[in-house]
Structure 1
Amino acid sequence: MHRGLLLTFLAISSVAGIDIIPALNPGCNECLSNENVLVYTKVPQSDTKYDLHQIWDFTGSNPTVIYIITNQNSTLEIEWDHRIPISINTSTPAIYNFAISITNLFEYDDCNDTVFFNYKQPYRNVSLTHVTWVLQESVMTDIQASVVVHGSLHGEKNGTNGTVEINFQLMSSETRWEELPRLFLSPRSTLVDVGLVGLTPFCEYEAARYAVRYVVISQDCTTGKLEYMVHKTIDDEYTPGVFEMIDLLTPSSNWNASGGYLQYRPVAYTARQRSVGSSVQASMHTINKASIPSGSLAKRYFGSFEPGTLLVQEAVASFGDRGDGYYRQTNYTAWTLTMGYGLPETERTSSFLTGALVVGLVVPSAVLVGMTFVSVWLVSRARRN
């Protein structure tokens, strides 16, 4: 049986009238057509005075997404050393920078069936250091940019074996992702869908679960922190059974809406055909200070920043429900979040719920008014008689 790890990144940046400008390995003359994958996409923001530059990088060991915000009409160049990007330069100084990097997985023995990962329980690091990335397919147009990249995990004795599959897509119109939890996507957001598929748990871990570790990098004061906020919603049409939205805000996003954020619903899925029946709890926690992973493009880009100007924190996401049989029960887990610039999207009430509310309010009101009119008419008639 094929065993692997599935990571799906869907990046959507859209607003009517915007033409995205994507490029695969721009400026690299030695890059092979199917290896050392780097995608650069410029997204002009017609309703604001800035441009959003996105870089999706697979040239190092850690899949990385970098946002670079500049004034309008700015250009960006990537300098290469053979097949390795060594620097990123913009024609005008960046206004703000934000990035996430997937550093590794944690496999942990959830003996007490608490679901959540913590560093006090038995765990193993599943490194992505030796993953080889190969481009499977790509689309680069002014309305869509997408890549499908596969990587192979080669575990040592008792190590995790499998594959890593990453799919990035960038569209030019606002939409919801077609898969559950159907998060709303804006012109300034990137959707990241992570699936853990057919991994090989450590033989000594009878209650094996997996967690995903991210490092979040933002151009904020080092003494700041990511703000964790939970929002209740009344509408579950797009994500049945889930009535919460969770935001992780950088200080700049929280203070003046000019920073980065992560947003997700606390749900993951244990089958490819996502449904309420295959849904389990998802939680991003263990938010601590961290360092930029040395194997990522983020390390080379942010390495020249002045001390004290970067906030670097880790966030670990774990998945499951008590009594669900642990990871071995299905050998599959998929989880989705969005990252973006500005303020997180406010969940919009679905047309179905809006219609139901209208019917629920208007019809009883109309009946009440009608009954009142009939009662008044009857009393009036009785008095006349």
Structure 2
Amino acid sequence: MSFLQMWFRYLNLGLILSCWRLDVAFSSKEDLTRKVTVTRNPGCDLKECQNNSTINLIYGRAQGPNDTLHYVISTVGPSSPTILLLRSPDATASLQVNWARFVSNSSHDFAGAVSLVSSLGKSAVADVETVIVLNRVLQYNDSTDTAVYNANTEIQPHISLNRLIWNVTTLENTTQLLGKGVGEVSFSPNSSISMKFTPYGCRGQASILPSLPFNANSSGWEINLDSLLTKQAGSRFAIEALLLGVETNTSKLSTKSIDDEYAPAAFTTDEILWKKSAVSTFQKWRAVGYTTSEHTRSSVTDVKSTSLTALNETSDQVKGIRANRLLASYFGSEKLAALKVESVIFSFGQPEDGFYVASNFTSWTSTVGFGDPPTDQFSTLVLCMIFIGIGCPLLVILFGGLYVIYVRIKRSGNAFRAKLLPTNYDYQPIEK
């Protein structure tokens, strides 16, 4: 067997081992797993909790080896759908609710009605506290068909989400909040605004487009605007979200990402980050939505978002935050009043798409969680193809050059030894 044949045989084996090592490396990254549970109205034995759909508190708990993540969602108050994100370094921490105080309509002091406690019944510390409130759905007239939200063309009145009647259903670890508006603007009997929430316990990729990556520190969210009534032929809808964080610096950024395996395309990926010294929180989404519930590639539409805007203390949005039942019950009115409130608006649509009435449906997904946002990664197949396409030629050049040097050195050595040996001499046998 020649040197080159042996080398190519070992090269093929090396490629297989290299691809396997790449696969192992990527499968073991972020391999943290958590035990996830989702309950509605945990620990409530009041009659209202069993029969009244307006009394809802969804609690998602993700337990890890050294900490616990807590997702708390509620519309009690009534309040707009509120997402409270908590992380505790106590692996035994869980949510405790004083239900009599939490659902009371006569009390003005809800502080302490919602808290974290350890397995010993003592108060548990949360080192991360972040809030997202889905406040309003805004309708605006896109007369220029640019699909860009313009506050100057808003159509009043807005859909205030705290005025909807929310029905909650839970299937395994996925919870859906379905909002209906009885007598509300933009609502017919077939109209609805729904939200789906799924906390994750391991690393993976969402099963529906745009196939957002997730890990054990994150949760998936899907928002649907279904069959809303429009007032103008060029009407589009947008969602206003309010953001709060305790001792955090909030920022928003956009990056380009590529998903070659689950949703082959290049995407603009947007993130909102609440930075804190120990652990940060995030909301991450791809700038695409869908105009059908099946999330097909043919139904893709754009998702645009405004920059973060700090709200004035006298604004209606901030006043609504101060009266939010879940937030007042967890933070207390004094601490809640000290938190800065910011807003961001998400709008949907593309130019020349026929506006909202063309489909009467918009769906948008995002990932919300703790730590660094999960990122898209090249599949093992693509990594192997890159290695074969770029690495192999470089290896051929390298080993080919070494082989040429080896042959030249060997020839030079033979020639040198040949010069040292005498060539003209007479052989004389030894006489006995």
- Length-normalised TM-score, structure 1: 0.80
Partner of 2:361: 332
Paired residue type of 1:191? G
1:54 to 59, 71, 82: 71
Partner of 1:231: 255
Name the stretch that deviates more: 129-138 or 100-109: 129-138
Paired residue type of 1:117? Y
Bigger strand share: 1
Bigger helix share: 2
1:107 to 119, 130, 139: 139
Q: Take 1:273 and 1:17, find their aligned partners in 2: how far apart are those partners? A: 29
Does residue 1:269 correspond to 2:305, yes or no?
no
**How far is the alpha carbon of 1:243 from its aligned partner?**
3.0
After superposition, give the CA deviation of every residue in 1:47-66 in whole Å (9 maximum; x if it has no partner).
Answer: x4x32222122433422211
- SS at structure 1 position matched to 2:175: strand
2:168 to 135, 152, 170: 135
After superposition, give the CA deviation of every residue in 1:286-325 in whole Å (9 maximum; x if it has no partner).
Answer: 4212325334522443343537852321111001111111
Does residue 1:18 correspond to 2:34, yes or no?
yes
Q: Is the 8 A contact 2:251 2:272 kept in 1?
A: yes
Partner of 2:281: 260
Partner of 1:284: 305
Partner of 1:319: 348
Name the stretch that deviates more: 340-349 or 79-88: 79-88
- SS at structure 1 position matched to 2:363: strand
Q: Is the 8 A contact 2:138 2:239 kept in 1?
A: yes
Paired residue type of 1:285? T
- SS at structure 2 position matched to 1:238: coil
Q: Is the 8 A contact 1:44 1:52 kept in 2?
A: yes
Question: Alpha carbons of 1:192 and 1:137: their partners in 2 closer, same or farther (altered >3 Å)?
Answer: closer
Partner of 2:425: none
- SS at structure 2 position matched to 1:133: strand
Partner of 2:89: 71
User: What 5-or-longer segments of structure 2 have no aligned partner?
Assistant: 1-29, 105-109, 117-122, 312-317, 409-432
**How far is the alpha carbon of 1:371 from its aligned partner?**
8.2
After superposition, give the CA deviation of every residue in 1:101-148 in whole Å (9 maximum; x if it has no partner).
Answer: 111100100111221213222333112233222234433xxxxx2323
Partner of 1:32: 50
Does residue 1:41 correspond to 2:67, yes or no?
no
- SS at structure 2 position matched to 1:321: coil
2:187 to 118, 137, 160: 160
- Length-normalised TM-score, structure 2: 0.72
**How far is the alpha carbon of 1:227 from its aligned partner?**
1.3
Structure with greater Cα Rg = 2
- SS at structure 1 position matched to 2:35: coil
Question: Alpha carbons of 1:76 and 1:118: their partners in 2 closer, same or farther (altered >3 Å)?
Answer: same
Question: Alpha carbons of 1:306 and 1:71: their partners in 2 closer, same or farther (altered >3 Å)?
Answer: same
Name the stretch that deviates more: 188-197 or 82-91: 82-91
Paired residue type of 2:283? L
Corresponding residue pairs, total = 355
Question: Alpha carbons of 1:57 and 1:361: their partners in 2 closer, same or farther (altered >3 Å)?
Answer: same
User: % of aligned pairs identical?
Assistant: 23
Q: Take 2:301 and 2:405, find their aligned partners in 1: how far apart are those partners? A: 55
Q: How does 1:193-232 map to 2 (within 5 A)?
A: 193-202=222-231, 205-220=232-247, 224=249, 226-232=250-256
Q: Take 1:75 and 1:167, find their aligned partners in 2: how far apart are those partners? A: 22
Q: Is the 8 A contact 1:56 1:65 kept in 2?
A: yes
Q: Take 1:23 and 1:164, find their aligned partners in 2: how far apart are those partners? A: 22
Paired residue type of 1:207? G
Question: Alpha carbons of 1:106 and 1:199: their partners in 2 closer, same or farther (altered >3 Å)?
Answer: same
After superposition, give the CA deviation of every residue in 1:226-251 in whole Å (9 maximum; x if it has no partner).
Answer: 31222223444433333332221124
Q: Is the 8 A contact 1:284 1:317 kept in 2?
A: yes
Q: Is the 8 A contact 1:101 1:296 kept in 2?
A: no
Q: Is the 8 A contact 1:23 1:39 kept in 2?
A: yes
Q: Take 2:284 and 2:367, find their aligned partners in 1: how far apart are those partners? A: 5
**How far is the alpha carbon of 1:265 from its aligned partner?**
1.0
Q: Is the 8 A contact 2:260 2:378 kept in 1?
A: no
